[in-house]
A and B are shown apart, each in its own frame.
With several copies, the nearest count.
Chain A
Amino acid sequence: MTIIAKFEIHYSQFLDPHGKGVQPLPEFARDPRNLIPLYRWMVMMRAYDAKAIALQRTGQLGTFASLLGHEAVQAGVGSAMAKDDVFLMTYRENGVQMIRGVTLKELFLYWSGDERGSDYAVPRGDFPICITIAAHITHAVGVAYAMKLRREPRVAVCALGDGATSKGDFYEGLNAAGTWKLPVVFVVANNQWAISVPRRIQTAAQTLAQKAVAAGFEGVQVDGNDVIAVRHAMDQALAKARAGGGPTLIEALTYRLSDHTTADDATRYRSPDEVAEAWKLEPIARLRTHLTDRGAWDKAKEDALLRECNEQVQAAAQACLDTPQPAAGNMFDHLYAMLPAALAKQRAAALGDG
């Protein structure tokens, strides 16, 4: 028996749950002022999230998927990307979308059951929400292939959950991305749960990062509640991809602090203790402590920020609620570039029907 291949999976964390550095910070984090924009986005995400849940509870939005607990992953991912990179996502990455330029009103519109919410004014090239788990991973491969074919220094960034790593599309996509050394970064937000199914039921693999071994490229694990770790891993993966070094899989360890969606009741399948423990690791307090310790943040700034976020969120929610219903003909209008004759008849019937 000879050993013909060896693999190691690395884990990285910069800030511990108490906001203390556990190793020298990467370049961008040395000046705490660079971290403030990330902190502001994270707070905004939480304000948005709370509002969306409140709107859903009062019947003003449809089912909503909270991002509570994912703020660091999303701030790290969104802030690292370049404008003309392409982001492909599931339903839980509204925070990344905000940073990319999607407006809060667009987000609320989408969740209110209006396709117009996906017609982002900015970023025009990002993909709409992909509800079918893992399908968008193969789309990311196609996007990255196009970028590589055209010799563009752009990267496709594809976000997914721990549950998604069990699906064939995930593997087919990773494997192909490895084969062609495509400029794509896969970010798994391992929040420990796929609805009621815990991480251990998804796979016997010790880490999700090691899934990349099967595809012949690098997988790394980071503390997903540490925005510095996420951002640093993203920076490295994006730089590698732009330089022709191919794909990276980043497993960001975090926790879904909310129910799966507003249609779910997580108390059915997980203990309050587990959730309480997870709250001790959540990403915002940790970063606030860190910034405060380094003199870059204080109570006054915090209060102002909260006020600002709540105002923006409130205004966006109102703008969504004020948006007139789409017309019935709308369901025909973007199906094809030109409405085929056979459908024009159906459209007329639908309008008569209105």
Chain B
Amino acid sequence: MAQITLVEAINLALKREMENDPDVVVLGEDVGVDGGVFRATLGLTERYGPERVIDTPLAEALIAGMAIGMAAEGLKPVAEIQFSGFAYATLDQILNHAGRMRHRSRGRLSCPMVLRMPCGGGIHAPEHHSESPEAMFAHIPGIRVVYPSSPRRAYGLLLAAIRDPDPVVFLEPTRLYRLFREEVADDGQALALDACFTLREGSDATLVSWGPMVPETLAAADELAEQGIAAEVIDVATLKPLDMDTVLASVARTGRCVIVTEAPRTCSFASEIAAGLAEEGLLNLLAPVQRVTAYDVVVPLSRLERHYLPGKARIVAAAKKALAFA
């Protein structure tokens, strides 16, 4: 078993599924000879040819809309948006069409497509290259939203996403693409969608996160552990449909919850989880829920980025604040 990075795991899952299923096609800007600007589609053109690995014109609404048409015709398109900052132009298609094709036609047509995109900041990139649009996608009925945080989960969840008979928005944490390696068996085993992963057990507080903030959250749990505080860490992984039961069960045990995201706070996915707790977990809460999020501002250019992204220190502080309640 090879030690690979997250982006290599994505690549591996794509290869595996293109090999398994001739209906799988990949499309997007620069996904062909270049292998994608992050090399997620490296080597696919050589193996499967430019008809199945499609360099599209520069047009995001087209990429999404075309994938919908392909999917309704029985292909399984895996479309890439080069950066999530350019994905807003696809919202119309995803919301008005991908998420509705099955519903609208009473199941006569369906839309088994995946829309992949790198998300999140921390790579000192230009404007629009550090977006965290997960909440917008998670608001859309009829789709799934998945956001892995490790090579192994990326591999298994992407396989699941491609095989899923409905549209999946698959968000990839750019700054984890090459941050660390993990052993990943290329065994073609998909992971279950719609389920959280409990990465670490603990009885004092529940830390909930997804995608790029998971390593930072684990680091915060380490630091808390050093201080004698046992934090449970949950990786939500599939944001929609949300496995809220796992979060509720954990908080029922710990009584305290910190939710971590790098998206701007208002109407973030952290708010959704906090709302679920206020509604279904209130009686178990021993302290106010803590949202550790980015501020409600535009992601600044790189010089100020470290002030914008929530880090370990803010997570630890939030957990301790929650623990300070008697």
Chain A residues in the interface with B (C-beta under 8 A): 62-63, 86, 88, 91, 110, 112-116, 118-120, 124-125, 127-135, 137-147, 149, 156, 163-164, 166-169, 172-173, 175-176, 179, 194-197, 201-203, 263-264, 268-269, 325-326, 328, 330-332, 334-337, 340-343, 346-347, 349-350, 353-354
Do A115 and B106 touch (CB < 8 A)?
A: yes
Give the distance in Å from the alpha carbon of A83 to the alpha carbon of B59 in the complex: 31
Contact A196 B108, CB 8 Å, known A145-B70, A166-B59: no
Do A147 and B29 touch (CB < 8 A)?
A: no
Number of B residues with CB within 8 Å of any CB on chain A: 80
Q: Which of A132, A143, A203, A342 contacts B73 (CB 8 A)?
A: A143
Give the distance in Å from the alpha carbon of A88 to the alpha carbon of B307 in the complex: 30
Within the complex, what minimum Cβ distance (angstroms) separates A212 from chain B?
A: 16
Do B303 and A326 touch (CB < 8 A)?
A: yes
Do B74 and A146 touch (CB < 8 A)?
A: yes
Do B66 and A335 touch (CB < 8 A)?
A: no
- 21 contacts across the A-B interface (CB closer than 8 A): A62-B126, A113-B124, A115-B104, A119-B108, A131-B85, A131-B126, A132-B86, A139-B72, A144-B69, A146-B69, A164-B58, A173-B62, A176-B66, A195-B29, A328-B304, A331-B298, A334-B102, A335-B102, A336-B166, A341-B243, A350-B295
Contact A195 B302, CB 8 Å, known A128-B104, A331-B297: no
Within the complex, what minimum Cβ distance (angstroms) separates B131 from chain A?
A: 11
Question: Does B285 sit within 8 A of A, measured CB to CB?
Answer: no
Within the complex, what minimum Cβ distance (angstroms) separates B58 from chain A?
A: 4
Look across to chain B and name the residue whose beta carbon is closest to the beta carbon of A65: B126
Q: Which residues of B contact A143 (CB under 8 A)?
A: 69-70, 72-73
Within the complex, what minimum Cβ distance (angstroms) separates B261 from chain A?
A: 15
Do A113 and B30 touch (CB < 8 A)?
A: no
Question: Does B55 sit within 8 A of A, measured CB to CB?
Answer: yes
Within the complex, what minimum Cβ distance (angstroms) separates A6 from chain B?
A: 24
Do A331 and B307 touch (CB < 8 A)?
A: yes
Do A141 and B65 touch (CB < 8 A)?
A: yes
Known: A135-B92, A156-B69, A334-B103. 6 other contacts (CB 8 A): A88-B69, A91-B126, A135-B65, A172-B61, A331-B295, A343-B296
Look across to chain B and name the residue whose beta carbon is closest to the beta carbon of A145: B70
Do A128 and B297 touch (CB < 8 A)?
A: no
Q: Which of A146, A175, A336 contacts B142 (CB 8 A)?
A: A336
Give the distance in Å from the alpha carbon of A110 to the alpha carbon of B108 in the complex: 15
Which B residues between 98 and 149 are near A, CB-CB below 8 angstroms?
101-110, 124-129, 141-142
Do A353 and B307 touch (CB < 8 A)?
A: yes
Q: Which residues of B contact A175 (CB under 8 A)?
A: 57, 59, 62
Question: Does B32 sit within 8 A of A, measured CB to CB?
Answer: yes
Question: Does B288 sit within 8 A of A, measured CB to CB?
Answer: no
Look across to chain A and name the residue whose beta carbon is closest to the beta carbon of B300: A331
Interface centre among A110, A134, A201 (most CB of B within 10 A): A201
Give the distance in Å from the alpha carbon of A179 to the alpha carbon of B65 in the complex: 16
Q: Which residues of A contact B243 (CB under 8 A)?
A: 341-342
Do A337 and B33 touch (CB < 8 A)?
A: no
Q: Which residues of B contact A337 (CB under 8 A)?
A: 102, 110, 165-166
Question: Does B68 sit within 8 A of A, measured CB to CB?
Answer: yes
Give the distance in Å from the alpha carbon of A330 to the alpha carbon of B166 in the complex: 18
Question: Does B254 sit within 8 A of A, measured CB to CB?
Answer: no
Within the complex, what minimum Cβ distance (angstroms) separates B24 from chain A?
A: 11
Contact digits for B229-245, partner A, Cβ 8 Å, 1 yes 0 no: 00000000000011111
Q: Which residues of B contact A325 (CB under 8 A)?
A: 303
Q: Which residues of B contact A168 (CB under 8 A)?
A: 59, 61-62, 89
Q: Which residues of B contact A172 (CB under 8 A)?
A: 57, 59, 61-62, 65
Do A268 and B86 touch (CB < 8 A)?
A: no
Q: Which residues of A contact B312 (CB under 8 A)?
A: none
